[in-house]
């Protein structure tokens, strides 16, 4: 029986994991697919570099065409990262009718739709489970498991670095800068952490999830992003007092055919399933009209979990090859994109203010809220030691983002408000 | 384009949910499958019964052969329950080359292997996602998502009724009997709750999960079962003091090719992902060698969640029909079954004893443990008001079940031990 031949683009930690899994699971793969699987070529930058896994030297190449143009290769696994050059490699592979498995969220968030349609034109599979939430089979869950449901909301902790940092800050009461430094030393955060802590990595994953879950082309530009760099110990301590846990949450919600996709630090009630997802773990909470609440939990990154997702996709491609049905599973987006306006996005909000500690100020502030129809669920006020100021923490009932932005503007203009220290969205209670 | 025709066996709450979802999602189904879906016939006991959903009277029949023998029907959805008669219906349907979707765990736990092999012989699909954990796409997760991994352990909260009862007992400090009565009044527990509270329902689901996850034919008889009927308020209160949460946990674990499958009340550390799965929710925690820890969370029962899982399977069957690849996806078990002996099952244990409050008794008891190589992680001792007795609560380090059973026997024989009040397995810490 003819073996299926793989070309691997990249041999970093994920690539090495893929090699290892394919070697260690030959029996299981044979049993599932009915023929052997072989890695035929691996594209690397430097053939002479020391590797953590043992690789036959003759498998390595520095010439991408040894894979992309080789008639011997059936499937290309892309774990090299990068966007523009990588996209061109994959287009070439598809034109040469090679199926693709990729773990590249940066690429899929930007060129996903284009690549998927080229794949379909060429009768090729293009699978990308590993690009979102590493080892969690969430895309499969969305496509197959919830196929017959209408998904109205997804909330995800989809970045391990920021979840690690927020967990440590909450549990140890440490400062952001200190925890970030510790995370960098432990290898949980990159030397340049901008993409993680700025929320961009999470935004890419939410764009991929929303595109699939809502059957609508959601671009990275459609995602409103706020990172975790400005979260203070005070914010975390007040959250805890009020019964909330702070998480960097990606939200994708839909009402009729209008959607909102955002990433921002968000307060969740401690009893919410996402609130107990700690450390570097990821989870995606999905609300479907029929099924109600489901959650997928697991490692969001890491060499072996991501490699597992890659090999699962590989098994999917190979099963399709055996059945002769490649290139038919991608479903093109069904709906025209339509984004919610700020007047159509509803949520609760937490806001912390420093105000002059004088008679009538609190009443004036509450009237700014009530003019916009916003009332309060929780109120904390306490005097500050310095400067005759008071600190006020308010949690509103559900209000529109439009109203809330107007309220913030008016608070900002009101001379008795010294500073709006922080504000966060509050999710996961009652109304979806 | 020819519509795909469905025959429905049963029109209870799940059946009605299926009818509703298919009607409400015609557009989405069309988009995914490319042709319309129609329910052609529904087998009911009484054609004249009032229904919660509107159904054309002419769709109803009391004659199963109107579905099983009808050349018009492509797919049979079985949501009528029952085992022996239902099995014969499904065999007949398969012999007539109809694909099957079933939500029937009782049937699949007993006749799953036989039905699956008849399905394969006849080129038919037989999907049964809804039979385990209602709305959670766990079977798909095991088959596809973790296809390339080696699953070494699954722990599941797979029965909503018992999880509801244990959650209420823990949170309110109520007695088992009172909560059960309340659950029955609310419709969360059946009038005869034996199958749920005795652990049998969970055992059936664990047999299905273990068969699939370990690729081995696990029968219901292979599952060791203990229910929740003997859990006392004292046990729950001691658990809490020691930092544990009590859950009815199904465990399926494997070392090399030897497996253990059991269902029993189990103590988990409060930080374990399963510990915060509350009320009627279900979750399955899966440990894979490569991926590490993942968890699938969602509603374990209910008309619409279960119906969603049924319709997702239906979509799977219909996609296969369009591709012409039915009957090829069932993978027959790869390994011979081999069950672990008590000497090969390792775990921590919680035990609560009433002993005579005399000098030397505690030393004698600990020496019984140490003779079997078992040491303690946690110890609590306090005098009891009556009868000059003391209460001792011990949590052991990991020990074999064989040793632990010998220890229990010796404690039982020791005259200073008045009574072994309770004992529970402790899971989810450190070593998998």
Over residues B190-233, the pLDDT tens digits come to 889 999 999 999 999 999 999 989 989 899 999 999 999 999 99
What is the spatial distance between Cα B178 and Cα B265, in angstroms, rounded to a whole number? 19
More confident residue, A366 or A143: A366
Two tokens, residue B23:
């009607």
Give chain A's largest Cα–Cα span: 86
Residues in chain A with CB shorter than 8 Å from the CB of B334 are: 28, 31
Give yes or no for a contact between B62 and B45, defined as CB atoms under 8 angstroms apart: yes
| CB interface of A with B, residues 73-132, below 8 Å | 129
Residues in chain B with CB shorter than 8 Å from the CB of A319 are: 329
Active site residues of B: 205
Å between B430 CA and nearest CA of chain A = 16
Tell whether A13 lies on the interface with B, counting CB pairs under 8 A: no
Active site residues of A: 205
What is the spatial distance between Cα A15 and Cα A20, in angstroms, rounded to a whole number? 9
Site from A149, A245, A281, A321 to mutate, B interface, most B CB atoms within 10 angstroms = A149
Q: What is the pLDDT of residues B309-332, one digit of tens each?
A: 899 899 889 988 877 778 876 667
Max avg pLDDT among A35-39, A241-245, B173-177, B422-426: B422-426
Q: What is the DSSP secondary structure assignment for residue B59, as one 8-state letter?
A: G
A279, A16, A312, A15: which is closest to A135 by C-alpha? A312
A9 known member of a binding site:
yes
Give yes or no for a contact between A393 and A375, defined as CB atoms under 8 angstroms apart: no
What is the spatial distance between Cα B295 and Cα B274, in angstroms, rounded to a whole number? 8
Residue B273 to residue A297, Cβ atoms within 8 A: yes
B12 known member of a binding site:
yes
pLDDT score for B384? 83
Q: What is the DSSP secondary structure assignment for residue B57, as one 8-state letter?
A: G
Residue A145 to residue B144, Cβ atoms within 8 A: no
Q: Is the dihedral of CA B66, B69, B74, B79 positive or negative?
A: positive
What is the spatial distance between Cα B151 and Cα B160, in angstroms, rounded to a whole number? 24
Two tokens, residue B401:
């079940």
Q: Is the dihedral of CA B110, B112, B117, B119 positive or negative?
A: positive
Å between B403 CA and nearest CA of chain A = 34
In this structure, the dihedral spanned by the alpha carbons of residues B47, B51, B53 and B59, taken in order and rounded to 10 degrees, is 0
Among the listed ranges A48-52, A280-284, B130-134, B288-292, which one has the minimum average pLDDT value? B130-134
What is the spatial distance between Cα B366 and Cα B362, in angstroms, rounded to a whole number? 6
Q: What is the pLDDT of residues A184-220, one digit of tens each?
A: 998 888 899 999 999 999 999 999 999 989 989 999 9
A352's enclosing H/E stretch is: strand A346-356
* Beta strands B151-157 and B244-255, pairing class: antiparallel
Check pLDDT > 80 for residue A148. no
Two tokens, residue A387:
């400067």
Check pLDDT > 80 for residue A304. yes
What is the spatial distance between Cα B140 and Cα B133, in angstroms, rounded to a whole number? 12
* Beta strands B151-157 and B281-288, pairing class: antiparallel
pLDDT score for A25? 85
SS3 state at B21: helix
* pLDDT tier for residue B2 given thresholds of 50, 70 and 90: confident
Check pLDDT > 80 for residue A328. no
Give yes or no for a contact between A68 and A92, defined as CB atoms under 8 angstroms apart: yes
User: In degrees, to the nearest 5, what angle opens at C-alpha B361 toward C-alphas B355 and B364?
Assistant: 120
Q: Give the list of residues 6+ apart from residue A401 with CB closer than 8 angstroms, or none.
A: A342, A343, A345, A346, A347
Residue A140 to residue B140, Cβ atoms within 8 A: yes
ipTM of the complex: 0.82
SS3 state at A61: strand
Q: Give the list of residues 6+ apart from residue B55 with CB closer than 8 angstroms, or none.
A: B11, B19, B42
Tell whether A64 lies on the interface with B, counting CB pairs under 8 A: no
A282's enclosing H/E stretch is: strand A281-288
Tell whether B144 lies on the interface with A, counting CB pairs under 8 A: yes
What is the spatial distance between Cα A149 and Cα B22, in angstroms, rounded to a whole number? 10
Residue B140 to residue A145, Cβ atoms within 8 A: yes
Residue B290 to residue A276, Cβ atoms within 8 A: no
B114, B69, B21: which is closest to B311 by C-alpha? B21
Give yes or no for a contact between B432 and B255, defined as CB atoms under 8 angstroms apart: no
Two tokens, residue A341:
């306006």
User: Which residue of A140, A292, A325 is in closest CB contact with B144?
Assistant: A140
pLDDT score for B192? 92
What is the spatial distance between Cα A160 and Cα B390, in angstroms, rounded to a whole number? 48
Give yes or no for a contact between A259 and A252, defined as CB atoms under 8 angstroms apart: yes
**A233 — phi, psi (to 5°)?**
-60, -35
Q: What is the pLDDT of residues B57-97, one digit of tens each?
A: 999 999 999 999 999 999 999 999 999 999 999 999 999 99
Residue A293 to residue B298, Cβ atoms within 8 A: yes
Tell whether A143 lies on the interface with B, counting CB pairs under 8 A: no
Tell whether B292 lies on the interface with A, counting CB pairs under 8 A: yes
Tell whether A256 lies on the interface with B, counting CB pairs under 8 A: no
- Catalogue all structural domains in chain A, each as residue range(s) with its CATH number: 4-132+303-323 (3.40.50.720), 138-299 (3.30.360.10), 345-426 (3.30.70.260)
Site from A145, A156, A278, A284 to mutate, B interface, most B CB atoms within 10 angstroms = A145
Residues in chain B with CB shorter than 8 Å from the CB of A273 are: 276-277, 297
**DSSP state letters, B258-290:** EEEEEEEEEEEETTSGGGG--TTEEEEEEEETT
* pLDDT tier for residue A331 given thresholds of 50, 70 and 90: low
* pLDDT tier for residue A381 given thresholds of 50, 70 and 90: confident
Residues in chain A with CB shorter than 8 Å from the CB of B145 are: 129, 136-137, 140-141, 309, 312
Give yes or no for a contact between A111 and A129, defined as CB atoms under 8 angstroms apart: no
SS3 state at A220: helix
pLDDT score for A319? 82
**DSSP state letters, B224-265:** EE--STT--HHHHHHHHHTTEEEEEEEEEEEETTEEEEEEEE
Check pLDDT > 90 for residue B141. no
pLDDT score for B330? 63
Two tokens, residue B144:
């596809």
**B348 — phi, psi (to 5°)?**
-90, 155
A116 known member of a binding site:
no
Å between A405 CA and nearest CA of chain B = 35
Looking from the CA of B71 toward its CB, the CA atoms found within 13 Å total 0
A141 known member of a binding site:
no
| CB interface of A with B, residues 395-414, below 8 Å | none
Tell whether B328 lies on the interface with A, counting CB pairs under 8 A: yes
Residue B21 to residue A291, Cβ atoms within 8 A: no
Other beta carbons within 10 Å of A309: 36
Count of pairs with CB atoms under 8 A, one residue in A, one in B: 182
Q: Give the list of residues 6+ apart from residue A266 with CB closer than 8 angstroms, or none.
A: A246, A247, A248, A249, A251, A424, A425, A426, A427
A295, A206, A338: which is closest to B278 by C-alpha? A295
Tell whether A291 lies on the interface with B, counting CB pairs under 8 A: yes
Give the Å distances, CA to CA, from B131 to B101, B102, B182, B301: 10, 7, 26, 10
């Amino acid at each position: 029986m003819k073996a299926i031949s793989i070309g691997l683009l990249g041999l970093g930690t994920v690539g090495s994991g893929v090699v290892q899994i394919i070697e260690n699971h030959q029996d299981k793969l044979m049993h599932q697919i009915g023929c052997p699987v072989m890695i035929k070529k691996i594209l690397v930058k430097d053939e002479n570099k020391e590797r953590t896994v043992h690789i036959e030297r003759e498998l390595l190449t520095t010439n991408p065409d040894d894979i992309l143009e080789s008639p011997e290769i059936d499937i290309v696994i892309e774990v090299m990262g990068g966007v523009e050059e990588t996209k061109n490699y994959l287009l070439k592979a598809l034109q040469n009718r090679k199926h693709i498995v990729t773990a590249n969220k940066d690429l899929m968030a930007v060129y996903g739709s284009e690549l998927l349609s080229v794949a379909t034109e060429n009768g090729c599979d293009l699978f990308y489970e590993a690009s979102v939430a590493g080892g969690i089979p969430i895309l499969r869950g969305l496509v197959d498991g919830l196929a017959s449901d209408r998904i109205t909301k997804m909330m995800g902790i989809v970045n391990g670095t920021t979840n690690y940092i927020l967990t440590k800050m909450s549990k140890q009461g440490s400062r952001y800068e200190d925890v970030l430094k510790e995370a960098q030393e432990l290898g949980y955060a990159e030397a340049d952490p901008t993409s993680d802590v700025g929320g961009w990595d999470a935004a890419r994953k939410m764009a991929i999830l929303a595109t699939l879950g809502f059957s609508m082309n959601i671009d990275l530009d459609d995602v409103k992003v706020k990172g975790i760099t400005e979260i203070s110990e005070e914010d975390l301590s007040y959250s805890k007092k009020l019964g909330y846990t702070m998480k960097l949450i990606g939200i994708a919600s839909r009402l009729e055919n209008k959607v909102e996709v955002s990433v921002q630090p968000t307060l969740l009630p401690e009893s919410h399933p996402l609130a107990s997802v700690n450390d570097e773990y990821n989870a995606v909470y999905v609300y479907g009209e029929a099924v109600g609440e489901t959650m997928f939990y697991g490692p969001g990154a890491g060499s072996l979990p991501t490699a597992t997702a890659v090999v699962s996709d590989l098994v999917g491609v190979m099963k399709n090859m055996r059945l002769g049905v490649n290139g038919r599973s991608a479903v093109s987006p069904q709906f025209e994109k339509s984004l919610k306006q700020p007047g159509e996005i509803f949520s609760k909000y937490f806001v912390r203010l420093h105000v002059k500690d004088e008679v009538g100020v609190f009443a004036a502030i509450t009237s700014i809220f009530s003019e916009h129809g916003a009332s309060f669920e929780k109120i904390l006020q306490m005097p500050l030691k310095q400067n005759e100021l008071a600190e006020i923490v308010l949690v509103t009932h559900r209000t529109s983002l439009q109203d809330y932005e107007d309220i913030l503007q008016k608070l900002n203009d009101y001379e008795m408000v010294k500073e709006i220290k922080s504000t966060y969205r509050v999710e996961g209670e009652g109304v979806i």
